[in-house]
Amino acid sequence: MGKIAAIAKNALTETVRQPVFVIILGIGAFMIALSPSFAMFTLMDDVKLLKDMGLATILLTGLLQAAFSAGNVISNEMENKTILTVLTKPVSKAQFILGKFTGIALALIASAYLLTLILILTVRIGVPEAAYIKLHRPVIYGEIFAFTVGILLAALANYFHDRPFCSSCFGYSILSFSFMFVLLGFIDKDLNFQRFCADVDIQVVAASYLILVALLSIAAVAVAISTRFSVVLTVGFCASIFLLGLLSDHIFGRFDNIFARAAYVLIPNMQVFWMADMIVAGETIPAKYVLGASGYGFFYSAAILLISIVLFEGRESV
């Protein structure tokens, strides 16, 4: 376990230091923060659309991060032959795969956590659909403050201590948004104290959690693919599998033959994790369903990792 933890720590550091990881995260964060401007012309369905757009942004952001991270952390290491430095030590290929996946998964968890905080705060702000709608201005100022502090502290750390700007910005943003989330959780629109997070939609948290489980499944697939293909092909394969997973019930689930059943099992069913439609319809996500979907996602990830370990063990060129 110590070797897996060391590889995971290295993979986590490599992942968050990649400019592409933080750039994708930054684009996703700004898209969520600016989404009230896009949802203000929807004829009273503004908040529902805001939640739907936010959850979709978290999903697409995590998909790109998982594919690029696995490609950069594993594919490039294999192409540059730096993997030989690790495998010549008493480290097995199984430990290498599990460590890399753990590091990438931790980065995805941190990214999804940050985006979920931003989405929850943005939903609390509301949508300026009409002049009479009162926005949650303390949250607006809080989000601006958290964004500014995260970037400013990262710039100062880079200038004075020569720390990587991307990873520093990522870390400081998590801290600043966590602080503002806790602080603003006790404040309502009129700057009065309230019960902590009294106006937070817990269903958004549950839906975001299931999206994270889906992203971990995609990350497992990305790790398996990146042991054989380059970064570009890894991203392409992950995008294809993601799209097939969204249409899995329609493409494979309605056919009763061995090929359709095999594809239905091998390709992760992304519809299992997509709860935005239930939120838009005003329905509650049952806790039993969350547990069942979590079990499916974790079992699928474990199975894919086991397959990738078997395939990687049989690769003689590494």
Residue 315 has pLDDT above 70, yes or no: no
Confidence of residue 132 (pLDDT cuts 50, 70, 90): low
DSSP state of 187: B
pLDDT number for residue 96: 85
pLDDT number for residue 42: 59
Angle of the 46-70 helix axis to the 202-226 helix axis, nearest 10? 20
Q: Residue 190 to residues 118, 119, 128, 193, 198: CA-CA distances in angstroms?
A: 21, 21, 17, 9, 14
- C-alpha 285/C-alpha 73 separation (Å) is 36
pLDDT number for residue 119: 93
- Mean pLDDT, residues 162-168: 90
Asked if 221 and 304 touch (Cβ cutoff 8 Å), the reply is yes
Report if pTM > 0.75: yes
Residue 314 has pLDDT above 80, yes or no: no
Helix, strand, coil proportions of the chain in percent (round to 5)? 75, 0, 25
pLDDT number for residue 4: 85
pLDDT number for residue 113: 96
Residue 14 has pLDDT above 80, yes or no: yes
Residue 318 has pLDDT above 70, yes or no: no
Asked if 77 and 108 touch (Cβ cutoff 8 Å), the reply is no
- Mean pLDDT, residues 148-160: 93
Residue 131 has pLDDT above 60, yes or no: no
Q: What is the pLDDT of residues 240-280, one digit of tens each?
A: 888 888 888 787 777 777 887 888 888 888 889 998 888 87
Residue 130 has pLDDT above 60, yes or no: no
Q: What is the pLDDT of residues 75-93, one digit of tens each?
A: 767 766 666 666 666 777 7
The token pair that represents 132 in the structure block: 């009479």
Residue 249, Cβ density class (10 Å: 0-12 exposed, 13-18 middle, ≥19 buried): middle
